Structure 1
Amino acid sequence: MPKVSITKKQALALRLAEEEIDVVCIQETHLNAQHRFWIRGYQTFRLDREGHKGGVFTLVRNGIPAKQTEVTTKGTSTAEIVGILITCDEIQILLYNLYC
């Protein structure tokens, strides 16, 4: 049987489904504004780096109330940070995904 090659995105989607993962944070995405990126069943929150390399995204399973929050950095920080506020019942979780 020939070996089937899959992309990193396909491998991620497969792992998310197999492990029933609700939230995942990825760094060094190497995406830019020209890249469309989504995985069925997940909300995507991302911050791309200008130029090459770097970048972060957070995937939150659909049905989990989540919204991106503003993150401010002091000085000339080159950190890429995505803040996500997740609300479950009456509990709020503030999650930061960062690359620096």
Structure 2
Amino acid sequence: MSLASLPPDLQHEAPKEKDYRVPGLQSVQTTTLFRVVYPELFIKPNKPVMAFGLMTITHCVAYIGYLHTQQENKKDIYEAIDSEGSRYTRQKTPKWD
């Protein structure tokens, strides 16, 4: 049975490549400026780059936390000089102790 012998409502052409909808904003007509300002909408996710970025940010936050704890530990220690003129480090104590 050929296409010519089928009724008009059953005659379907093969769908064309351009008829398929592309998900996301890739099928929308946009300007180059919009694509430059919002590249994350048009670029396919790159998992190795995302993993590297996640590790980098995690290490940065951990390093800032480490520096914060080191500063907290140093805050309670100061350098004192005794009556003989020798220097030593001493931990701060409240005045009422």
Task: Give the TM-score taking structure 2 as reference length.
Answer: 0.20
Structure with higher RCO (Cα < 8 A, 6+ apart): 1
Larger helix proportion of the pair: 2
**Rg larger in structure:** 2
